[in-house]
Structure 1
């Protein structure tokens, strides 16, 4: 399943796709990923659901215009509008990494109606962001001008650190490819430079207002967003459940695909 359709939103090109039949499920990626990370799961879920994949502007096959902001606030507005464009009244949302904050903002701040939320190793509570994030924010223009081979090494090392089990070369190549063009290099550092905890800080007081079923899924060995965030998130959201996946890091889709697919299938069956 690939994002083979496009639509225009505020001058941005948004790549997306839809497959299957049944209750609607929208899969939201994070950073520095794209919908490709969710594609195998989307294909499996499309047997019983109508599954929507999309790339946030600045990522994957969507536009990477340097003049367009790519912050979490903007992406949350876009997601809320996308659900309306697609005619989805109460879809199920499954979100990873940044996609968590984007989904929560779409629902809590922009009124997007949902049937349920499944939050997988998400950015939702401060603090988040690494020393590398802070360094890029301070020197984004310098990183944008790195020689291509040096930039490639930076991106590969950064992405590899999200896996607990280690990545196959073909997976590493697929995850780094969107960032290795001239436009991709600039976009990679631009989205880090625009990362700001204020976009999750204004969410945290509203988490107690969530009135839809919520399931939190986390890799026990997540070095990017440690497991304590999952426990904090569950305490903050009324009635939220928690599944911890052993021997998996932040890239749980690649570290433990069978366990993640099982968790997603079980969750969606329970809220159908």
Structure 2
């Protein structure tokens, strides 16, 4: 896969489609740009979609984490993304985010507001941040050395793919019948997870907790004037709906849509449905619609 220079690191990137309207996809924690590969062929004509891997993920460089994980902060990821867009000569674009990609995008929007137009945020970590206690961070450490545990935890991020009874405590998640290429992609992204940096495994929950405690982005939500469509799967047990409602209330142009029957990862769980929302939000836009 190609890589792009972004300051001190090179980030993996991938492109789907050709067109005058550019949308940049920013993935979630322990993930990669590949999480939209099944949806991408269903995106409308006229869109150029670019997926970027965070530092420490996918095909990107894996710098050694600082003792405090400061070089894997949300601000650092945002700066990496902006530097990559500079190198790729993307002067103006829209954003599609998933999970922790949402709070990274918020920092990008605040740093360079006129560079971006619309945002499609799938089950985002909001500008409020998230809190992880010592036991939860310990779980991430345990996942680093256990593929079985990682698969069990990651299954909760795509819960509609699995037989409900198999999601009970101490059970082994079992795929529903007939998933085909979706099942294959899920298994591949689990394998990818074991290549990510400790700066991702531990640094992400540590830095999201810092975001929550600082309340910096919470106070700045009214500045995020870009049109947002926020999609939340009703079976998502990772993102608190109250946080999304607070986000929608505080931001000037933010619409919250609750999607039935879907968990935290519509892009994996139902790629065609995700592509439908994606196309409805970005399809047919003028090429250079500047943000207000």
Partner residue in 1 for 2:154: 159
Partner residue in 1 for 2:230: 216
Partner residue in 1 for 2:262: 248
Structure 2: which 5+ runs fail to align?
A: 163-174, 176-182, 287-292
- The question of whether the paired residues in 2 share the 8 Å contact of 1:220 and 1:244 is answered with yes
Partner residue in 2 for 1:62: 60
- The question of whether the paired residues in 2 share the 8 Å contact of 1:221 and 1:250 is answered with yes
Hey, what's the Cα distance between the residues in 2 that align with 1:208 and 1:6?
35
Q: Is the counterpart of residue 107 in structure 1 residue 109 in structure 2? A: yes
Structure 1: which 5+ runs fail to align?
A: none
Q: TM-score, normalised by structure 2?
A: 0.79
User: 1:171-194, CA deviations, whole angstroms, 9 ceiling, x for partnerless residues?
Assistant: 43212112335xx47455333454
Q: How does 1:110-125 map to 2 (within 5 A)?
A: 110-111=112-113, 113-125=115-127
Partner residue in 1 for 2:46: 48
* Greater length-normalized contact order (CA 8 Å, ≥ 6 residues apart): 2
Partner residue in 2 for 1:199: 211
Divergent runs of 4+, >6 A: none
Hey, what's the Cα distance between the residues in 2 that align with 1:215 and 1:25?
14
Hey, what's the Cα distance between the residues in 2 that align with 1:13 and 1:112?
25
- The question of whether the paired residues in 1 share the 8 Å contact of 2:31 and 2:193 is answered with no
Q: Is the counterpart of residue 261 in structure 1 residue 259 in structure 2? A: no
Residue 188 to residue 243, structure 1, CA distance change in 2 (3 Å): same
Deviation, structure 1 residue 76: 0.9
Residue 188 to residue 173, structure 1, CA distance change in 2 (3 Å): farther
User: 1:1-57, CA deviations, whole angstroms, 9 ceiling, x for partnerless residues?
Assistant: xxx211233432211122322201101101121111012233332732111111101
Q: Is the counterpart of residue 190 in structure 1 residue 202 in structure 2? A: yes
Hey, what's the Cα distance between the residues in 2 that align with 1:139 and 1:172?
21
Q: How does 1:1-12 map to 2 (within 5 A)?
A: 4-12=1-9
Deviation, structure 1 residue 246: 0.6
